[in-house]
Amino acid sequence: MSYISSWSGGKDSCFACYLALAEGYRISHLVNFISQEFHRVSFHGTEDRLIQLQSQSISIPVLQKETTRDGYEQEFKEAVRSLLPQGIKGMVFGDIYLQEHKDWVERVCGELGIEAVEPLWDENPEKIFTDFIDAGFEAIIVSAKAELIDEDWIGHRVDRNFMEYLKAKNIDLCGENGEYHTLVVDGPIFNRRLEIMESRTISRNNYWFLDTGKYRLAR
């Protein structure tokens, strides 16, 4: 029996997967959902190819599924159901404290006959933030609400300076309410670092996004 891991490419889903692996869970696949319209991770704005490179570095295959706004739940179930014949026992998620998210994944997983695993649930956000950094992970900020977070932070590393900035502005440290989103580029489960060589910041719908023009896995 094995597990699959919900994967956005950001710090929380990555750290949840890392903790599950450390606890002995065998992760057979990452499961990533991208918008049908833009071929990017919704809200994060991360290109589908970047997720594929993460998967390549981590050496865990990724199943990418296109989703629509109105059909998300059905499309989520279709993706997970396609892996069930491989003996999937459960799915790992990176939720921290939003009860409605936890209720949704537990209901949907229950309907699929699998277990919902939540390694970060109810942990202190500051502890998650610092544990992620101290474990050796590196992530960059790829999107943020423009009214909350300054443009200069886009493309910046998730570090203690950013944590102090968030504290000063009374913003949730892990961005659990969508205040910002990240892309993990290196860490203890990565075999090769993901290098962003060219990028620019763009503004869309009151969000800042990091538009990545050129990237690669380091040799």
Q: Are residues 48 and 96 in the same domain?
A: yes
Give CA–CA dist 3/198, Å, rounded. 35
- Domain holding 32, by residue range, is 2-117
What is the arithmetic mean of pLDDT over 59-63? 98
Residue-wise pLDDT for 72-81, tens only, equals 999 999 999 9
Contact 191, 59 (CB under 8 A): yes
Number of independent structural domains in the chain? 2
103: CB partners within 8 A, 6+ apart: none
The more confident residue out of 184 and 69 is: 184
Boundary-marking domain end, from 117, 151, 183: 117
Specify the pLDDT at position 35.
85
Please report, for the domain that includes residue 173, its CATH number. 3.90.1490.10
Residue-wise pLDDT for 92-133, tens only, equals 999 999 999 999 999 999 999 999 999 999 999 999 999 999
The token duo for 8 is 């956005």
Please report, for the domain that includes residue 90, its CATH number. 3.40.50.620
What's the pTM?
0.96
Q: Are residues 6 and 113 in the same domain?
A: yes
Boundary-marking domain end, from 99, 117, 135: 117
Q: Are residues 77 and 129 in the same domain?
A: no
Boundary-marking domain end, from 74, 93, 117: 117
